Amino acid sequence: MGKLHYAGRTVTIDDRVLAHLQIVIVNHLRKGESFTMSWLNALSKGDGRGAFWLSPSIPLEFEFSGSRNPEISRAWLDAREKSWSSSTGLIVLGEDGRVVRCG
């Protein structure tokens, strides 16, 4: 499990999901765009959800538990690209399209 560190908080996310998020997030922050990212909390934290307002002015770190780069799915990236600019923002989804629980 990897970790996303942002604004003094850490969210645990599967390495492969995190790799896809990194590509989408970095592409938009590089352009100076701000947006929300949301997820379902891990059941160990209750059945709630969380969200970040991602902005280029706030430091962000992607920490992967594995040393190998996961295989990247173009279809998965394309689906994330379409969702990030919607009113719901970037939702952390797995390759199967289901919302991913993050710790």
* Per-residue confidence band for 22, with pLDDT thresholds at 50, 70 and 90: very high
Q: Which two tokens stand for residue 91?
A: 């939702």
How far apart are the C-alpha atoms of 37 and 58, rounded to whole Å?
14
Is the entire prediction scored with pTM above 0.85? yes
pLDDT of 83 strictly over 80: no
pLDDT of 31 strictly over 80: yes
* pLDDT confidence of residue 60: 96
- Are 91 and 25 in contact by the 8 Å Cβ rule? The answer is no
Give the mean pLDDT of 78-83.
76
The domain in which residue 57 lies consists of 2-102
> Can you tell me which residue has the tokens 């352009």?
31
β-partners of residue 54 are: 35
* pLDDT confidence of residue 61: 97
How far apart are the C-alpha atoms of 44 and 90, rounded to whole Å?
23
- How many structural domains are present in the chain? 1
Give the mean pLDDT of 41-46.
83
